[in-house]
Structure 1
Amino acid sequence: MREKVLIVLMALASISALYYMGSQTNAVPLENAGKGDLVEFQGLCVYSSGDFSVLYNGSASVAVFGGMEVGKAYRILGKVEDPEKDRLKLLEINETSPEFLPLEAIEGAYWSDCRLLTPERVYMYPCLNVSKGEYLRAMGLFYRGKLYVVNYTVIDFRNTPEDGMPLRIEGSVIYGGNPATIWNGEPVKVYLPYGMKLKPGDYVRVLGIVRLYSTLTVYVEDRRDVEVLGKAVKRPIGEESVGEIAYGECLVSKSNKRYLKLNCTSLPLYGFFAHVGDSIKFQAIRRENSLYCLNCEVSTPRERLNNTICRPVKGPSKIEGNVEWVKVYANGFGLANVTDGSCWVLLKLRKSLGVTLREGEHVVAFGYHTTYRGMGAFEVYSREDVVVK
């Protein structure tokens, strides 16, 4: 009896195997199939939820009731269930290589929200383990506007700016605020997220989208794409280059509301006020044609300068003495004889200064020694440089 049962089971297994082999042999391409036909389909899983999945082969998609993993390729055997041929009754499923699929290759830079910038925005699945801004080459299938990535190769960050593409650059902040300007061999204008600013003198790394305007411009979308790496390189005044911090102690040779001129450099210093004759200690970021104060202080006020009536010197100086006489010409120009003991000098008073002196007054002036018709003279630049005591 047992032998008969065994023989029957073996016969049924043989019949099933023959039926299955015949079924595979009778499978037809999806495009030629009708309802009820057996179809073998190979594709990439582009959707899966529970036991429902969708496969796509680059030209057609089918839905099946079977659990699969998005991004993996499968070979399935199933029967057509509807005239539209977009749903199969699953009979067999096997994972396979995606190499048989008509994969597309695309190069670009990885960006936020699982995007690839080419510079057009290409959405991808899945999100990749790639640093934002890195360039890569991805292989996959496009389905409903999204690239389903099968494999990819990371290329690296690029150093050459390309319009509409990401660029990661490092440099010194030479103009703060928003937009800021950083220097990395050329000026780069950086637009930052709302409410964010950069400080002059900082050395930063930024990542953003390039626009090739007359000045290279980078738009940063996220605060996390800005890193302060430290401070710019410091060098003694006169040895600095653009983007470096110059430091030193110098004498103010000219002063106005906008900038200072110093006796140690031809570059104007912005962002700090002092009087002619003051000595200042400073640290300043070097811009292309100027310096901007980062940390400045008056180290020696001009009031401590020596009286130079008897011993004129070059550069910013101080004189102090009594007014012996004053002469004002018809054009408003005036001269005042300032005397200290046996020494005297002619103080030149331009009409624009708005300074009026009287005989017998004690005066202190800050400016430069010069001459007037062969005689020793002293010239000042502003009203604040003449003090009557």
Structure 2
Amino acid sequence: TDSADALASWSNTGNNVDVCAPGVNILTTARGGGYGYGTGTSFSAPLVAGVAALVVSANPSLTGAQVRDILKQSADDLGSPGWDPSYGWGRINADKAVLAATGATPTDTTPPASTIAAPLAGGTVSGVATIAVTATDDVGVTKVECYINGALAGSSAIAPATFPWDTAAYANGSYTLQARAYDAAGNVGASATVSVSVQNGVPDLTAPTAQVTSPANGSTVTGVANIDVSAVDNVGVTKVECYINGTLVGTSPTAPATFPWNTATYANGSYTLQARASDAAGNVGASATVSVSVQNPVADTVAPAVRITSPTNGVTVGKSTKVYVLATDNVGVTRVDLLVDGKFYATSALAAPVFSWTTSKLSRGSHTLQAVAYDAAGNTTRSTVVTIKK
């Protein structure tokens, strides 16, 4: 192997490889004196022999097979875990081999290796992200810690480990992640740092702006009036509501919106209009109030008053006579009819008409007169019946 424990290109591989040893650029004595560097099995093999000699000198009672086992068991594992055809059981380790020969426990000075496996460097995270950490040690990992911007964010007694990271609790921006792994000897191995960006949606705290654009403040409305509402929001309006005197009268999912108002179902008087707009975040914005006056025509339910002023009840008339009628109304009389013996005789558009009545075709005896008055609303009144004689 070379100084980086990489396998030399000229190395043998196969099922008979037990251990490997440094054999690239090995400092050694040179012929004729001095020192030089050499490469090849001529340099790696003597190193194995030298370690074997140290083992025997530490414990002369060892057999050759025992020395061989110690060299394999104390080697630093390289390549695939355990034995492999390239490195065998690993690169020889003189210190561990001598300690194994004497039965002493070697001092563990090798820190664990740890890595942030996720998220990837330069990535963007949001919501609840998972920080995945891997860690290995020559003896065993006893603890793994996760740090965010240098602050401890989680700890685990096993490796690999995952740590949930609620990024919503952090402001948007760049953060540095690092892992630290511990072993039983107290060695600590820190991972390379990983920089990631937190990018969560910013909460919408801005309420929509609403306005009643029609009718105008102080105006008078009649019949079916349209209440026009405009609304805007930094993200979007999801609902518009219309209120009359604080009572909800209409809802629209879009803005601007128009709400028909049948004012005829409201008593004449003053009313307050207001709009409210909502957005998806639940923010609500209320408009300024608008005061308007409802002024619809009042329905005429009062019937006219009517009476026959002449002839009077019980009088005797000749072949022709004048019938005087007087009608009054709170708004106005539109028509007066004269009935003779209960049948229509004549009509007039006057409120105080005078009807010419020819009685020549009537039989002798008693006959009745009655007037009927009308107004524009269709209200009617019949007068008291007047009975005359012919």
Q: Same fold (TM over 0.5)?
A: no
Structure number with bigger Rg: 2
Higher relative contact order (CA 8 A, sep 6+): 2
